[in-house]
Amino acid sequence: MNAVGVVVEYNPFHNGHAYHIEKARKETGADVVIAAMSGNFLQRGEPALLSKWARTRMALHGGCDIVIELPYNFATQQANSFASGAVALLEACGCRYLSFGSESGEIDDFLSTIHFLKESNDKYQHLIKQFVQDGNSYPKATSLAFKALSPHHDQTVDLSKPNNILGFQYITAIQNQGAQMAPTTVTRKNADYHDESFNTSTIASATSLRKALFANDGHIENIQRYVPAATYNGLMDYYNEFGLFHNWEHYWPFLQFRLIQSSPEELRNIYEVEEGIEYRLISAAQEAGSFSEFMENVKTKRYTWTRIQRICVHILTNASKEMMLKNNMPQYLRLLGMTDNGRKYLHHKKNALQLPMISRVSSKNEAELSLDIKASKVYGLAATSLQSKKLLKQDFLQPPVLLKTANGLQ
């Protein structure tokens, strides 16, 4: 059985994701689609709209056969670390291909870009340093440096585009790790990653879907045509059970408490807190009445909204530099869910998996999963007291989601 891997957040799963899975399966001829999916906190430093278990169900209904959790210390990192962890997981699962969505749509252009930057690395790094010194954020500096190096290069991808950036990092990670997976890309259809409004009849970005959900206070009728039925029903079920879709405002009281009661010295131990930003964070926490107000007071040209959000996630979960940097590669495969077809694949590959598979939390693996468990507990604090208890304990009580389908197929 051959597998194609995808790296996902599914926040939430929508028609564009279903299109990607269908194309990835068809173009690679894979029998199985394996998703490396972020847990309850995401790469842009945000709480996921729904828990990882609810999003796993949506993924399985949407065409994935196996969902593996991307551990917290990779899922909440900048693009290169995020991609490195995901590639290592999918390689350990035995994937023959890695498929990603991109604005480019041409894998040769990615390979050409990587080759070009390797040849120009000294100048590229010098330009990045120069643009950072000018007060730009690191992501902005890398984009400016690339444009300065190759403003009219025909066979390179635009590294100012978010999915192109991730695709570039996936292929770089494959090469750096000596992974056997072949990269392949699917052109994003219709909606741009950052689109905040609905532009087509059936495809919309996750950003626009989240904006619509929060603008309508949990009413989801206007997004129905942009998501599969399983996502629509899953969103309704989650809201009815927990009374919310998670966003940063739910966690503001906890973050504010952490910031006000922490000393600058204590904050400096938290991952990504550096260059004196701890003083700015503490000061803003004493003045702001909401998370959005706090963010407006903290962000600067150098510190992007995304970087500050990631710092806030690490403060919220008390993720120290030591904890985040303990392992530079994943140490386990955390199984969140599978279809009948996925279960057959895992049975077929059980002796060939390159990392140990964890399907339930136990005393034997609790320490290994400590950051993921802590993140899930913090995530659960957003719900009301009764439902919060269920989310707080979910990592201990929830077995992998099993989706039974006719003949083991979607």
Q: Which CATH number do you get for residue 347?
A: 3.40.50
Flag whether 15 is marked binding: yes
Q: Is 45 annotated as contributing to ligand binding?
A: no
Please check whether residues 98 and 190 belong to one and the same domain: yes
- Look at residue 389 in the predicted model and tell me its pLDDT: 77
Please indicate, yes or no, whether residues 278 and 399 belong to a single structural domain of this protein.
no
- Single-letter residue type at 128: I
Q: What is the pLDDT of residue 321?
A: 96
> Looking at the DSSP assignment, which residues form a beta bridge with residue 34?
5, 66
Same structural domain, 363 and 310: no
Percent of the chain with pLDDT over 90: 70
**309 within some domain:** yes
Q: What is the mean pLDDT of the chain?
A: 91
pLDDT value at residue 74: 97
User: Does the annotation list 219 as a binding residue?
Assistant: no
Same domain? 236 vs 272:
no
Are 260 and 340 within one domain?
no
pLDDT of residue 191: 46
Contacts of 410 by beta carbon, 8 Å cutoff, 6+ apart: 61, 63, 65, 339, 341
Q: Is residue 169 part of a domain?
A: no
User: Is 327 marked as binding a ligand?
Assistant: no
Give domain status of residue 167, yes or no.
Answer: no
Specify the pLDDT at position 268: 97
333 and 204 fall within a common domain = yes
The reply, when asked if residue 87 is annotated as ligand binding, is no
Q: Are residues 367 and 235 in the same domain?
A: yes
* pLDDT computed for residue 410 by the predictor: 44
Q: What is the pLDDT of residue 385?
A: 67
Question: Looking at the domain assignment, is residue 179 inside a domain?
Answer: no
Beta strands in 276-374 (DSSP E): 333-339, 357-358
pLDDT per position as a tens digit, 13-69: 999 999 999 999 999 999 999 999 999 999 999 999 999 999 999 999 999 999 999
Q: Which of 281, 305, 324 is the last residue of a domain?
A: 324
Residue 399 marked ligand-binding? no
**Residue 19 annotated as part of some ligand binding site:** yes
Q: Which amino acid, residue 86?
A: A
- Same domain for 25 and 77? yes
The C-alpha atoms of residue 265 and residue 276 are separated, in whole angstroms, by 10
Does 233 count as an annotated binding residue?
A: no
Residue 112 lies in a domain: no
14 annotated ligand-binding residue: yes
Is the whole model's pTM more than 0.85, yes or no? yes
How confident is the model over 244-298, as pLDDT tens digits? 999 999 999 999 999 999 999 999 999 999 989 999 999 999 999 999 999 999 9
357, part of any domain: yes
pLDDT(147) > 90: no
pLDDT at 152: 61
Annotated ligand binding at 280? The verdict is no
Backbone angles phi, psi at 36, to 5 degrees: -95, 110
Q: Which residue has the higher pLDDT, 142 or 398?
A: 398
Domain that holds residue 316: 248-324
Residues 301, 363: one domain?
no
Secondary structure (3-state) at 56:
helix
Give residue 156's pLDDT.
80
Examine the fold and report which residue of 263, 292, 324 is the final residue of a domain before the chain moves on. 324
Contact 127, 110 (CB under 8 A): no
Judgement on whether residues 381 and 335 belong to the same structural domain of the protein: yes
According to DSSP, the β-strands at 182-187 and 401-403 are unpaired
Q: Is residue 174 part of a domain?
A: no
Residue 319 half-sphere exposure toward CB, CA atoms < 13 A = 30
Same domain, 209 and 143: no
Q: Decide which of 324, 359, 388 is a domain's last residue.
A: 324
The number of distinct structural domains making up the chain is 3
pLDDT of residue 148: 86
User: Cβ–Cβ contacts within 10 Å for residue 115, how many?
Assistant: 12
Find the Cα–Cα–Cα–Cα dihedral 136, 138, 143, 146, rounded to 10°.
110
Helix then strand count (H, E) for the chain reads: 19, 8
On the question of pLDDT at 188 being above 90, the answer is no
121 is in an annotated binding site: no
pLDDT at 217 over 80: no
Q: Which helix (H) or strand (E) holds 402?
A: strand 401-403
pLDDT in tens, 91-125: 999 999 999 999 877 899 999 999 888 888 899 89
Q: Which residues pair with 22 in a beta bridge?
A: none
pLDDT bin (cut points 50, 70, 90) of residue 80 is very high
141 and 196 housed in the same domain: no
On whether residue 165 sits in a domain, the answer given is no
188 is in an annotated binding site: yes
**Is residue 272 a known part of a binding site?**
no
**Percentage of residues of the chain with pLDDT beyond 70:** 94
Q: Is 287 annotated as a binding residue?
A: no
| 408: pLDDT strictly greater than 60 | no
pLDDT band of 407, cuts 50, 70, 90: very low
- Which pLDDT belongs to residue 237? 94
